[in-house]
Amino acid sequence: MALRLSRLVGERLVFFRCYSAFMKQRIILIFVALLLPLAGCKTPSQSPSEPAPSGTTGTTAKAGRGIAAAGSGFDFYLLNLSWSPEFCYTHPAAVECAAHATFVLHGLWPQNANGSYPENCSNAPGPADPAQYNDIYPDPGLLEHEWQTHGTCSGLGADAFFHAARSAFQGVIIPPTLKTLTSQISLPPDQIIELFTASNPAIPRSSLAISCGHNFLTAVEVCLDKSLHPTPCIAIRSCRANTVRIPPP
């Protein structure tokens, strides 16, 4: 408000100065007197009320590593299927751990081909009825986090985004070897990918990545285009361990 008031006062002063000059020149030819205020009293080319250029936002880009400016768009989705036994080992009281599931949906994340990713793109409200997504997000806190952090960058409304996340998650068949696991096994990352491609012929190896930590499986990630079709994983780092341990649910 102070900036707008200061600018307004400045424009008024310019006007009155030009008007005074005009009055002092009344003895000069009318034609010349009219030209002087026109030459000296040009209004600013852009008013404060004009909208910002298309594609910009009122927020400052986050400076975190790998994070693109909010609202800058994205190239593809990264579907993260978290290996629940590994998460529940350190979070036994988490809501989703009561089901003793194998893979659970962590998120559908917008990604860019240069390795960056947008986050927290708007303050748009989440779904009006979060309970309808209990099958994929039994923890309401995780659902809200996924919407605010990732969903707001998808260009979709909240319900459309979570319907897309559910569809993508349900579209991946969990390999029988992992779905019926009863004791810990160890497998090379490439062999885990082979299990998934065997159960999902439509998903090529190039669209899959393995995530691991301390040589334990943490997630399998699937790269999808904006229509939720498999697409090559660009700039997505996969687990480089020789073998990863996979504990049972």
Q: Do 21 and 112 belong to one domain?
A: no
Q: Do 36 and 79 belong to one domain?
A: no
Helix (H, G, I), strand (E, B) or coil at 83: strand
pLDDT for 48: 29
Any domain includes 11: yes
Q: Do 24 and 71 belong to one domain?
A: no
Q: Do 167 and 112 belong to one domain?
A: yes
Any domain includes 57: no
Any domain includes 52: no
Which tens digit of pLDDT belongs to each residue from 18-73? 334 433 444 333 333 433 333 333 333 333 222 333 333 332 233 333 555 444 48
| CB distance 64 to 120 below 8 Å | no
For residue 109, the domain's CATH number is 3.90.730.10
Q: Is residue 15 very low, low, confident or very high in pLDDT (cuts 50, 70, 90)? A: very low
Q: What is the mean pLDDT of the chain?
A: 79
Question: Residue 62: what residue type?
Answer: K
Which tens digit of pLDDT belongs to each residue from 159-198? 999 999 999 999 999 999 999 999 999 999 999 999 999 9
Any domain includes 128: yes
Q: Do 33 and 92 belong to one domain?
A: no
Greater confidence, 8 or 174? 174
Helix (H, G, I), strand (E, B) or coil at 100: coil
Q: Do 35 and 158 belong to one domain?
A: no
pLDDT for 67: 56
Q: Do 33 and 153 belong to one domain?
A: no
Q: Is residue 244 very low, low, confident or very high in pLDDT (cuts 50, 70, 90)? A: very high
Which tens digit of pLDDT belongs to each residue from 64-114? 335 554 444 899 999 999 999 999 998 999 888 989 999 999 999 999 999
| pTM exceeds cut of 0.75 | no
| CB distance 150 to 110 below 8 Å | yes
Q: Which of 74, 249, 39 is nearest to 156 (CA)?
A: 74
Any domain includes 71: yes
Residues 6 or more apart whose Cβ sits within 8 Å of residue 107? 79, 80, 146, 150, 165
Q: Do 242 and 171 belong to one domain?
A: yes
Q: Do 121 and 225 belong to one domain?
A: yes
pLDDT for 217: 98
Q: Give the domain range for residue 183.
A: 67-246
Any domain includes 156: yes
Q: Do 21 and 120 belong to one domain?
A: no
Average pLDDT over residues 135-160: 97
Q: Do 123 and 234 belong to one domain?
A: yes
Q: Which of 115, 171, 112, 121 is nearest to 147 (CA)?
A: 121
pLDDT for 95: 85
Q: Which runs of E-coded beta strand occur in 13-89?
A: 67-68, 76-83
Any domain includes 130: yes
pLDDT for 73: 85
| CB distance 209 to 189 below 8 Å | no
Q: Do 96 and 213 belong to one domain?
A: yes
Which tens digit of pLDDT belongs to each residue from 188-227? 999 999 999 999 999 999 999 999 999 999 999 999 999 9
Q: Which helix or strand (DSSP H or E) is residue 240 part of?
A: none
Q: What's the domain count of the chain? A: 2
Any domain includes 51: no
pLDDT for 66: 54
